[in-house]
Every structure is written in structure tokens, then in C-alpha cells.
Structure 1
């Protein structure tokens, strides 16, 4: 007697979404600003500036660039850039029209970094009046980045001859799911064992999994009862390197278990979770008094020169930058990457002094290189160049306004800035393990608007250590 059983597994958009394999693409902006998206050497993504088109890769809702850096939305201002040693921000997708979206929205913003370059954001930057709404097109992906798979049917027939129906055996068949990087392992139960056993092997594209069968497996197109499936995606938790931990669930192979025909379909889609970067305002507020005399004269070290990297160099950059304006005295602008001083606007800078600086001399400096020396930043500067610096009695927060700003602990004096200058403002014993805040204000008609950046050539307010 000959008997056969046919199993059909149909996976479609109405059943569940299988994450697609990674897809590489280039971005083009349209709307208020248009052009291809390029990258600076530090991973900032920009429109304009003659930058060549950058290549990105999307995988499971996260984006990395061609250098393998995770693309993130920076804290508070949500600037799109790619940083070394961090995991990507998740929630991105590319629809069938090749439009990049984040959290379901296709609206992005371009805000000027200079007269010819624009940074990318998901929200307009507070205080920047020239931000414009844009859309981002991802060429080269289209439906390939979609999470909705096309219908795929896998039919397997277990065929046996001349064996009592009371006997039973199990066949294991492995095949990849079409148009997906995730392979499926299908377990089939046959009602009869074969008269002569054989062990065929079917190899999926990736990853390679050996398959074993104790009954011949013969594909067929005959219509037979469909068996349901229980799909249980495994999870892998990893921690990416870098200053901050990012945990996420990465896609792995899926096991498709086919039991009896009466079993219902239970779908557990893969999930992606991550721990966001801590905000720049994550500081300990404390009152710090800077001694009038320094423990070491500035002539014994290069106080106005930054050496090393941002994580292991001889300097600290501000961890919180807060512009405050007398024109809107009760409005909190929140954190910024830009320093701004004018007749009605000052900027407060918080510095977190490492405990390793104990016993050393700290130097508050302001660097204003020539425009021609800048690689990744820019500034607008006019007027006499007069500026005033003050040490504040406590640190600022993201809620700091003109009205509620901390009081002045010490007036550090007036200075005249000029393009190409490096100015030593104050040397003092490092308040190790504490947070200290300084305010920078314009004198007279001075106007300065700049992007705080340690990349060559460094621009802005820093604390160096000797």
C-alpha cells in the first residue's frame, strides 16, 4: 500500500512580517533644501558643501554607515549622525516609494551648519530660524527594506510504501524562507515509515544547518491539507562597544515547528530594544568656587592647545550648552551644540571635571581659529570682538532661562577675540569630580554664532589640564 502526506506552509503579509536582509542605499534630500547626503570625517551627515554621497545600510530598523559606525539621533536636538563605537538608533524604515521614515514619519529637518551646509534632524533646532522641512529618499532599497514579505509556499510530501499504519517516524527538512535572510527549520511528522530508509540533505543559503530524514521527501504540487505552524524567533542579546551600553535583539534563524493539523498559528515577531544614550545634561549639580590663584602657572604647559582625543586627551568639552536670551527671559531653549552671544543672548557652559584631574591645574580657554582652518565646523563673527566671561554659582540645567540662571560667583573679566586667536581666560585648581559652569556674554556690538567642535581645528570653549 502506498500512502503520502503533503504539508503546505504559506507565509504571507497577512500572517506575519519577517525582517528583510540588510539593504545599502544613498540618501537624497528634497523640499526646503535639496541634494545628496554626504558625511564629514566625524560621521555628521550633511547636505551641500561638495560632499560626495555617503552609503548607509539599514538592518532591522537600525542604520550604519560605510565605516560601520552606528547612526544615532543625538540627545535633545535629535541630529542624525553616525558615531564610532555606539549602536544605531532603531525605528527607521524605508517604504515602497524609497522614502526614509523614522517612527512612521517621513518628515525631517535641515538646519544650517554654515552658509553652504545643512545638518539633518528629526525636529527643528530651537533658536535656529533657518531650519526647513525636508524629505529623504533612499535610492537602491525600495521594497527591499520593507518588513512585509511576499507570499511564499513550501510544500513537502512524505511518501512511504508497504508499512503498517501503526508505525511512525519523523522527518526533518530545512529550507530558507524566500526573499529573507532568515532560514526556517521545519519539523514534519509522517504517519508511516519507509520500506527502505534514506537520508537526504537539503542545505539552506545561510546559515548552514544539516538536515536529517528517515523518510523520502518528495516535492509535489498536489493539493493536500495545510498544516499550521508555530514560529518562535530566537533572540540574541549583545552589547555594543563604546562609552554607553546599547542592548538590542538581533535577528537570527527561525525554527518552524509543524505539529498536527489542528494546531493554531502563534506568531511572536522579533523585537528590537535599546538603551538610549544618556543626555548631555546628566550632570551632578554642585557649587564650585574657583581660587583666585592657580596652583601652576600657564607657562609650564600648553594651556591653549588640545592634544589627544575627546575621550583621552588633555581637555574637557562642555557637556551642556544652554543659550539664554533677554528677549525671551522665561523660555528655556534647552541644550544646544552651538554657542551664541549677541546684544540680547548669552550662553552658559557646564563642564564635568574628572576625578583624575585632582591636584592639577585647569585652564579655561576659548579657541577661534581661522575659517580656512576648519574642517567640520563653522562660525559667524562680527563686531568689536569684546566678550565677558563669568563663573556661575551652580550648574545650569536644560530648564535654565534668562530669568532663573544661576548667579555669578566670580567675574573672570573681558577679553577681545579675533579670528585665529587662542585665549587663556583663567587658570585654577581643578575642582575634581565636580561640575562647574561659565557664562559667555557679548560686549558692545560683538556677535558670535558657532558650532562647538573639537575636530580640526578645534572651535569653542574648553578646559585643558596641566
Structure 2
């Protein structure tokens, strides 16, 4: 597993997932086992098939969705129902692919389950024994699709990357012609740079400074902070924080241990971690980037933003459920 800070020109044939730094708004239409526009109850529940509801508007920004009323759209536990709540921090990990399909953590598969009210069906990301009369669906957005790969004679790739195992930042510079706002999550080979600091902090030992480590760790008490140095040459480019989680069988010399529900909260910090950072003196959160339920064999775009050129930035990964994850950093590329 690797963490990359990858600066690359957009090349012909490259794959792009959309996670935009600027908000883009759209409506959704379901197809498959159930069809129709996605409407919304006054309490923020999103439904298909209830003809008394008008089509709802949604906006996506850095992988997180809000509704037309500005409410954060979340996956409510334990059933993963997609609804939008006042004051809620929206769940990250959403994207819209080049065909317009809404995806969550790279998958366009959703399910719709009957509510018994006006023929309406609620929307979920995963099946559950608590749900009944469910049908597989896909959700199509009427705008905000990721740009299709653009033919270009420019295919240079200059990578300044870190090989931290999981949290990764990718910077994409426009080729000629400009490649819009797409940002690849398939990271190619190039020149790599380790994160300059990986620091675990432990709430059960709040005044202990563990110093920099080769392993990242997330448990019920331990979170990890990653420092990235962003070159001045990235000025005017767009960066994405990307989480790559290969399967153990695909790794060459790295390894990891993983258990629990996989829920990890990602956050940008207000200051920079040092070797002396502890749980008590760690920088505060400047922006919560949302919670993602990770699992091996997947990759996730956590957030997209203007590159903070010439700066060192810190990001924290911490448990948001029952996750226990420890991984070793090495030189080998992510599969």
C-alpha cells in the first residue's frame, strides 16, 4: 500500500473519477429494479417511486453530497440509508463517473427497498437483514459527469510521491488542451517521495510522543497523522487525497492487519505534526473530510482541493467505528 503525492500531466487514455473542488449540482434518476426520479421527504429521506414528491436537487463537492436545502447527505447506520440531515457532516466517498452514474466508493450499485408509503422506496448502499423487498438500482445524474479521457499529444508524468501506505495526495496539472476537473485515482509509476512524518497518537497515553514511524495505525485509541510537503511548482494545480487499499495477496513486500467495520474518519489539521506530537498537543481539525468504510481491494478519493503549494500539510486518519488497521510502508507500487 502506498501514499502518493503525484503530479502528472493528464495523458491520453487515463482513467478519471470525479471528485471536484467546486460544488456541482444535479438531479438523480433511478434505473434497474426500480425506476423514476429521486424525490425527498421534508425530513431529508430520499425516495424513488413516490409520485407526490418533486425531483430533489443535490450538489457534490470533494466527494461529499448536500441537498438543495444545504443539508449533509449521510449513510445512516446500521442500514446505510441515504438521507440528508440538517447539521450533519456529509459522508465522503461519492463520485460521478464519465457516463453520469453516481458511485459510492467506486461502485455504482445501490439498492431500493419498499417503505409501504405511497409506493416509495428508500435508497441504501448495502443489503441488510433489517431490510425487505429490496431491488438493485443504479442512479444517474443529469449533470456533473466526469470528463471522458481527452486525446492529447502530451503524456508526460512527473511524480513527486510519498509511499505512505494509505492516505495519499494526487496533484493533477492540465495537459494541452486543458483536461477539466477530472482527477485520476489510478496512479502510475514515477519519482516518489516518502511523507516526511508519520506520527501515531494514542488517547490512552495522551502525553506520550511516539515519534515518526514506518507504520500507520488506526485503532479504538490510536490515530495516525501524515505530513506531506507540497512543492511550490504545484501552484495552480488541483490535489486529491486518495486512500489506496490493495488486497494482501497483491502486495510484494508490504503487509497489513485489518479487522472491524473499516470506518475511518479523515481530517485536515490546522497545524503541522512533529516528532513531539502527542494526543494532547496534536493540531486541531481544520476540516473534517468525512468517514469512509474501507475494505481491501479498493481505492477511495477522500477530498479534492487547490494544491497548497510550498506548504507542509497534515492529515489525520482515525477510527470512526470498530476499525483496527496497521500497515507497513515500503517502496513497491500499489497494484
Using structure 1 for the length normalisation, give the TM-score: 0.34
Using structure 2 for the length normalisation, give the TM-score: 0.45
**Whose radius of gyration is greater, 1 or 2?**
1
Q: Which has the higher contact order (CA 8 A, sep 6+)?
A: 2
